[in-house]
Structure 1
Amino acid sequence: MSDKPSEEPSSTPEIPDDVWDKFARDTERDIRASAQKEPSARAREVTERLKRAEQPEGWRTGPAWQEMNGRARRRRRLWAALGVPVAVAVAVVAMKPSLLPGDLFGGKADSDAGASPLAPETAAPTTAPSAVNPQTPTLDRPFAGSPALNWADGEAGIILPKATAVGTFSKDQVELALQQTKILLVAANLDPKTIRGDRPSAALAILDPKQPKVLDRLKASLTTPSKAQDPTLLFSRFDPKDVRLVGKVVKTRGRITFAKDSDGGVTIHSDYTFVYPLVRTDGSTEVARTIVRRVIDLEILDPAHWRVTPGLLTLTLNNADFGNSACDIYDGYLHPQFDSAATSSPTGATPSGPTTDPYDRSRDIGKSQGSCGTVSRT
């Protein structure tokens, strides 16, 4: 009760462990000794009389305690139906849980659900994420041992800044451009259909077809991928014949900013990292993670000075960096590498670039474009 004096002694006496241990042993012995015995007629008669008897009043009064006594009576009737052995066992366990092996209540369980989420990223990081305890990812815990464990889930990590008017563009026009940027990021990197190799139509729909060659090249890369036309530079795609996403969550971290550019337009800058847990489709339960970081600039231009389609965006910068994907394979998919030797996935060329931390968002990925190295962690 909330008004219970703090100095009042506990109604449950402290009982030494050795006493409880003896009680548990004696109870177990008594249960075994009596398990097969049929109760006598006299015992059945006494039991029936006790079941009909009025239960005594509780030693405390008041509505709350009366309600508690009522629940206790219902519990006692239930225990009588279940039998004395079960009732005694429950009593022992309730008063001394350590008699049972393990931690049934999950108090010490290492669960992804208990991870505290990071605050949204509002500025460029200055260092890589701290090291975490190395753990092997599993189907139940695909982000175990990853800094992304505390990152946002999917679209929840793409937080738009508050729109304001910029130059000749109104607040509503900037807001529309921000929303379109989010559509592109989600459709290109988080849509389950895109991830399994389908056409990212929603992402393509927000790009201005009047921008020379860009949209045509993107569409061509999806139908006839090559080194010169690689769709993974903008879209996160995995070959559904080889791998599939574990669960439904892709971890996401990054930020979006916008500012007036030198041409009088508005540049929307996005810098995001996506972490994909994957498993092979051959029945294996081994989980591997591929980390993709994308730095993209989209622009809204003034139709009074440029040949553009009002309401659509121009792609002006597209840098990508991949952690744990086979080198020099240009079939239109990212190919995660698994620790086990038995894999049907393409292995690609031997990495020749430097070792980098794919979770390091303070690093300028523009300088590493075109190189394929190794990663320090996944």
Structure 2
Amino acid sequence: MEDRRLETHPDLMDPEWRKQAEREARIGAKKDRKRIPKPRSRRRFRMSRRGRVLTLFLVVTVVVLGAGAVVMQQLRGRDAGSGQPPRAAPVAIGVDLARPYERTPAANWREGIAGITMPRGEPVGDFTAQEVEAGFRTVTQAIAAARLGTPVLRAGDGSELLALLTPNERARLEPTLTGPVTIEKGNFLTLIGPKGLLPVTPRMTGFLTVKAGRTGELIIHASYTTAYAFDALPSEARTPADIVPFVRDEQDYVIRKAPPFDKADAGLDFGDGAAYRTRMACDAAKAGILAPQYADKDRPVAVGMPVAVDEVATYDPTKPLPSLETCK
């Protein structure tokens, strides 16, 4: 009877065949292990996510650029269709009316009379230290009344300055300082024309010096420059120089005591003086009015100062007063 059990099969009983079969089985097992996929490492997973993000970014960029190109093409087509040249980008004005003194020599000056310094009060001639200090206060009040006072800047009213003068000097100057606008009145007061000032305080720089005069006289010299900021429309001014004129003053003030002077001559009086104005409208200046240089319609905007003028020295009270006329 034939033996059909697997373990008694003739091939399995052959030693050589069994060795060959075991060898092929081992080779097959190794091949199967190589085909098993290995799990991806964490690092390879992160790199894959970055790749997806980069791909998304590139896709979005291409879409945006494409949309921008379409819009630009439509705008060009619209301009071309209308027969008009492509619209240029608006040019920003170079004047900041909220900070009008920026980019001018007055940028770091102090506001108002605080810009004028004075020496410490000491005895001078017939005047005590206290009288000299009182003289400084009177002179700074006169400067403020002439160059900074609300009545003078708004209405050309010189009453504040008149009140500080001796009775005789007041009587002499009252017709001029309270009358209509003239060049003589403009020599004593800052007269503002139709082009109004911005709501900012004028800026000043300067100093006072003192010396003895005749018996009973004290001479206080004021060297100072005042900058004014005028209002303007965007079409009227391109640089701060168009809206900020400067007034340079060299003025002697004489203070007299009574006695030896009588009461009509005791107090504050004007001595020698000179002034120089720059960056203003020449047409207005010839009438005694201070106006920004853009107010001259027949004058190019921002023409600046004459080439021969040292602008820094012009505004510096420690330098000699310029003699070159800026309006011809």
Normalised by the length of structure 1, the TM-score is: 0.52
Cα distance, 1:278–1:353 mapped onto 2, change above 3 Å? same
Cα distance, 1:178–1:362 mapped onto 2, change above 3 Å? closer
Indicate conservation of the 8 Å contact 1:258/1:268, yes or no. Answer: yes
Q: Distance in 2 between matches of 1:177 and 1:309?
A: 18
Q: Give 1:271's aligned amino acid.
A: S
Q: Which whole-Å deviations, capped at 9, do the CAs of 1:162-206 have from their partners, x for residues lacking one?
A: 222323223332222211111111111112332223313222111
Aligned to 1:315: 270
Cα distance, 1:235–1:320 mapped onto 2, change above 3 Å? same
Aligned to 2:121: 163
Aligned to 2:199: 247
Q: Distance in 2 between matches of 1:243 and 1:153?
A: 21
Deviation at 1:152, TM superposition (A): 0.8
Q: Determine helix, strand or coil for the equivalent of 2:248.
A: strand
Which of 84, 106, 111 is the aligned partner of 1:148?
106
Aligned to 1:273: 225
Matches of residues 1-378 of structure 1 in structure 2 within 5 Å? 136-211=94-169, 216-217=172-173, 219-227=175-183, 230-239=184-193, 242-280=194-232, 286=237, 288-309=243-264, 312-327=267-282, 329-338=285-294, 341=297, 355=309, 357=311, 358-365=314-321, 368=323, 372-373=325-326
Q: Determine helix, strand or coil for the equivalent of 2:250.
A: strand
Q: Which whole-Å deviations, capped at 9, do the CAs of 1:263-305 have from their partners, x for residues lacking one?
A: 452111111100011124x786735111001111111224333
Indicate conservation of the 8 Å contact 1:354/1:374, yes or no. Answer: no
Bigger Cα displacement from structure 2, 173-182 vs 289-298? 173-182
Q: Determine helix, strand or coil for the equivalent of 1:194.
A: helix
Q: Distance in 1 between matches of 2:163 and 2:307?
A: 35
Query: Which entry has the higher C-alpha Rg, 1 or 2?
Result: 2
Q: Determine helix, strand or coil for the equivalent of 2:145.
A: helix
* Matched residue count: 230
Q: Which whole-Å deviations, capped at 9, do the CAs of 1:301-340 have from their partners, x for residues lacking one?
A: 2433334547621211221111122336454421221189
Q: Distance in 2 between matches of 1:285 and 1:307?
A: 54
Q: Distance in 2 between matches of 1:306 and 1:271?
A: 27
Cα distance, 1:248–1:193 mapped onto 2, change above 3 Å? farther
Indicate conservation of the 8 Å contact 1:298/1:314, yes or no. Answer: yes
Q: Determine helix, strand or coil for the equivalent of 1:183.
A: helix
In structure 2, runs of 5+ residues without a counterpart are: 1-49, 58-92, 300-304
Q: Determine helix, strand or coil for the equivalent of 2:231.
A: strand
Indicate conservation of the 8 Å contact 1:154/1:190, yes or no. Answer: yes
In structure 1, runs of 5+ residues without a counterpart are: 1-21, 30-134, 344-350
Q: Determine helix, strand or coil for the equivalent of 1:244.
A: coil
Q: Which has the higher helix share?
A: 2
Provide the aligned C-alpha RMSD in A. Answer: 3.6
Q: Give 1:338's aligned amino acid.
A: Y
Q: Distance in 2 between matches of 1:342 and 1:327?
A: 10
Q: Give 1:184's aligned amino acid.
A: A
